Copies of this chain bind each other. A is one copy, B any other.
Amino acid sequence: MTTTVSQKQILDALSKVNDPELHRSLTDLKMVRDVVIHAGKVEVTIALTVSNCPLKSQIEEDVRAAITALPEVKQVSVKLISMTDQERAALFGEPKEGAAAPYNHIQNVVAVMSGKGGVGKSLVTGLLAAALSKKGYRVGILDADITGPSIPMLLGLHGPVEPGPVGLRPLQSRGGLKVMSMNFLLTNEDQPVIWRGPLIGKAITQLWGDVMWGDLDYLLVDLPPGTSDAALSTMQSLPVKGVVMVTTPQGLSAMIVRKAVHMTQAVGVPILGVVENMAYFICPDTGKQHFIFGPSHATEITLAASAPLMAQLPIDPNVAALCDAGHVEDVKLTEIEGLIEAFVKAAPVQAERQHG
């Protein structure tokens, strides 16, 4: 009597294969459809949750490996189809606000803030994210500057975004950062978002709860200037662990940054550290430092914030050029190493790093 692999064995094997985004097994997700066994040849049909699933080749590979590992299996063929809207709704419920949140596991949410505009919050966010990613951390950026988003350009990313089974999929930067910005949702990036505050606040909670961030060590939230809706919604609706406060040497910045410091204190979110940007310019001809925006006010900010100075970054035309070209991940500044060290110390993550 010829022994053969049973349907039960195959389903058991597939019950141990997880959807890589949703972290639930293929059988649990009702993704396994037909299983045909014929003389050691196994044909399975897998219904992807969405047709555009970017991880479909990984799923196919995992299915093939799990079945191949069973005894008596000589050949495996995997057919991929995708669920209908009805099947998907039966599984996840009708699309609703915040649906992605239960599937996301984010260790540390850190907001990058200033109060003042144009001090380089987005640059600091981009530099931090890229350097953390290079160290092996899983990093996302939520661009909370709904009306003046800088993050997409710094990373050279453009919409549209694709819907996933339980929410929108963030875009992925060259360096592997998961990124979501209001700009990806506009039909034209020059389109202004002319919204009053309540909609701004709502947009931010949607960029949080309707996006499939997945597993992240750090989610950096790039806040717009001011202490109004965007900052309030972020600090009140997201589990913000702390704030990195960005300033520049100008006394003018210092005054407004102090307001932001007092806001974080009022809402009870700790300040992890202070970054002074545009601290000086080194003339390429003479090598001399020019304090273009005046002497540093960083000390008074660190005192007001009761937080350490994480870095002082120069004005560097190469940095501006890389940012305009969408290559913030390629910026090399010696100051970044100290910044990352201070950051990771202030916001440690518990899990093992996955790579790096």
Contacts and interface: CB of A to CB of B under 8 A. Distances in A.
Interface of A: 115-119, 122, 146-150, 153-154, 189-198, 200-201, 224-229, 231-232, 248, 250-252, 255-256, 258-260, 262-263, 266-267, 281, 283-286, 288, 290-294, 304, 315, 317, 320-321, 323-324
A150 B256 contact: yes
Contact of A323 (B116, B118, B189, B250): B250
Contact of A225 (B225, B227, B232, B317): B225
Given A317-B290, A317-B293, A192 B255 contact: no
Contacts of A153: 251-252, 255
A291 to B, nearest CB: 7
Contacts of A193: 227-228, 259
Given A118-B119, A153-B252, 11 more contacts: A115-B148, A117-B118, A147-B227, A148-B259, A149-B256, A154-B252, A194-B228, A194-B231, A198-B198, A285-B285, A294-B324
Name which of A153, A201, A259, A262 has the most chain B CB atoms within 10 A of its CB. Answer: A259
A174 B146 CA distance: 38
Nearest to A120: B118
Contacts of A317: 290-294
Contacts of A292: 281, 292, 315, 317, 320
Nearest to A265: B192
A333 to B, nearest CB: 15
Nearest to A225: B117
B293 A283 contact: no
Contacts of A229: 196-197, 228-229
A251 B153 CA distance: 9
A288 B149 CA distance: 33
26 contacts: A115-B148, A117-B118, A117-B224, A147-B226, A148-B227, A150-B256, A189-B255, A190-B255, A190-B259, A190-B304, A192-B266, A193-B259, A194-B227, A194-B232, A194-B266, A196-B198, A197-B197, A197-B228, A250-B320, A281-B292, A283-B285, A285-B285, A286-B286, A291-B317, A293-B320, A294-B317
